[in-house]
């Protein structure tokens, strides 16, 4: 007879939630997720494209279904990666705290959540809905481009949330020199985007005629 002992909190599965607008997804995002998975020993990384980003309500963002499909195409050949429609299908603006609550419930509250996103996004964390609860519920992995300075987080967040560096890990990802803005601009200018995003995403962008003519979108 085997005796099943309850798992201690430190033994709970660690999952990564990769949050972003992904307009479009690119190699920098994929390298970030894979690096985070390996470095933090995550069981899997769930990509969660933002539906209606709460901070971009006034701004123009590509249709969520296009962003979802591009993200799907990009993650499909990595067995550790998956994608969730939780924010895409919500009729409400996307708030990370709601997404984290959703996944905690899915895992019956026996999970350690690592929220992976861009370091610049984290700089504004004190303006996010229920940020204290969020910082209590998960560890943040902030992906930065080369040369990003910790000073920004120190100046902007630490004075108001002194334990911020216990909750946020900065991860330097040289491939994040690529940005969604850069890709959109190149498409509009008729320049190649080969190798900046997976080939399937590149094909999808051309087939769906995305990013052809509009004015520069928000970051
Ligand atoms: P953003 O402000 O468009 O991006 C800021 C920077 O972070 C950009 O350089 C961006 O590069 C990079 N970035 C974004 N997502 C990334 C990722 N997953 N991995 C690596 N770099 C990433 O950020 P956003 O995409 O709108 O928002 C990021 C996440 O924060 C989303 O999940 C969003 O829902 C969440 N968020 C929540 C709240 C809230 O709850 N109130 C408020 C703001 C943001 P690219 O442009 O190349 O991606």
Q: Where are the domains of the chain?
A: 12-178
CA angle, residues 46, 38, 106, in degrees to nearest 5: 30
Burial class (CB in 10 A: 0-12, 13-18, 19+), 158: middle
Please confirm whether the linkage preceding 24 is cis (ω < 30° from 0): yes
Q: Which tokens sit at 45?
A: 């990384």
Query: Does position 44 have pLDDT exceeding 60, yes or no?
Result: yes
Q: Among 18, 19, 20, say which to mutate for ligand 1: greatest number of ligand atoms within 8 Å of CB.
A: 20
Nearest CA to ligand 1 atom 32: 19
Return mean pLDDT, the chain.
Answer: 91
Residue-level pLDDT at 125: 94
Residue-level pLDDT at 92: 86
Range picked from 2-6, 65-69, 87-91 for highest mean pLDDT: 65-69
Q: Could you report the per-residue pLDDT of 70-96, keeping only the tens digit for each?
A: 999 999 999 999 999 999 999 888 899
Instruction: Show the beta-strand stretches assigned E in 7-121.
Output: 14-20, 44-49, 81-83, 112-118
Mean pLDDT of the region 99-105: 97
Q: Which architecture characterizes domain 12-178 according to CATH? A: 3-Layer(aba) Sandwich (3.40)
Report the separation in Å between the CA atom of 20 and the middle of ligand 1, taken as the mean of its atom positions.
4
Q: Which tokens sit at 194?
A: 């080969």
**Pairing status of strand 14-20 against strand 44-49:** parallel
Q: Could you report the per-residue pLDDT of 107-145, keeping only the tens digit for each?
A: 999 999 999 999 999 999 999 999 999 999 999 999 998
Work out which ligand 1 atom sits closest to the CA atom of 128: 41
Residue-level pLDDT at 219: 42
- Cβ of 144 closer than 6 Å to ligand 1, yes or no, is no
Mean pLDDT of the region 63-68: 96
Q: Could you report the per-residue pLDDT of 171-207, keeping only the tens digit for each?
A: 999 888 899 999 999 999 999 999 999 999 999 999 9
The dihedral through the CA atoms of 67, 73, 78, 81 has a sign that is positive
Instruction: List the one residue out of 193, 172, 195 whose CA is nearest residue 181.
Output: 193
**Pairing status of strand 112-118 against strand 81-83:** unpaired
**152 pLDDT band (50/70/90 cuts)?**
confident
Percent of the chain with pLDDT over 90: 75
Cβ-based neighbours of 99, under 8 Å, separated by 6 or more:
17, 19, 48, 86, 87
Instruction: Show the beta-strand stretches assigned E in 76-197.
Output: 81-83, 112-118, 138-144, 168-172
Query: Does position 7 have pLDDT exceeding 80, yes or no?
Result: no
Whole-structure pTM value: 0.93
Query: Does position 216 have pLDDT exceeding 60, yes or no?
Result: no
């Amino acid at each position: 007879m085997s005796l099943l002992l309850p798992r201690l909190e430190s033994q709970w599965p660690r999952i990564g939630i990769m949050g972003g607008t992904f307009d479009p997804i690119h190699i920098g995002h994929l390298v970030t997720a894979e690096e985070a998975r390996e470095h933090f020993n995550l069981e899997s990384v769930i990509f969660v494209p933002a539906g209606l980003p709460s901070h971009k309500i006034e701004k123009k963002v590509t249709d969520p279904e296009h962003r979802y499909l591009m993200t799907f195409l990009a993650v499909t050949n990595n067995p550790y990666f998956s994608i969730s429609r939780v924010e895409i299908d919500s009729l409400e603006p996307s708030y990370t705290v709601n997404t984290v609550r959703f996944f905690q419930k899915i895992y019956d509250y026996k999970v350690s959540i690592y929220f992976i996103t861009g370091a610049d996004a984290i700089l504004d964390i004190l303006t996010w809905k229920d940020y204290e609860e969020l910082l209590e519920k998960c560890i943040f992995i902030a992906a930065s481009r080369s040369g990003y300075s910790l000073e920004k987080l120190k100046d902007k967040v630490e004075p108001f949330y002194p334990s911020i560096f216990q909750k946020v890990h900065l991860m330097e990802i040289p491939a994040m020199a690529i940005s969604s803005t850069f890709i959109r601009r190149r498409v509009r200018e008729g320049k190649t985007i080969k190798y900046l995003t997976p080939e399937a995403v590149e094909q999808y962008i051309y087939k769906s005629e995305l990013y052809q003519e509009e004015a520069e979108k928000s970051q």
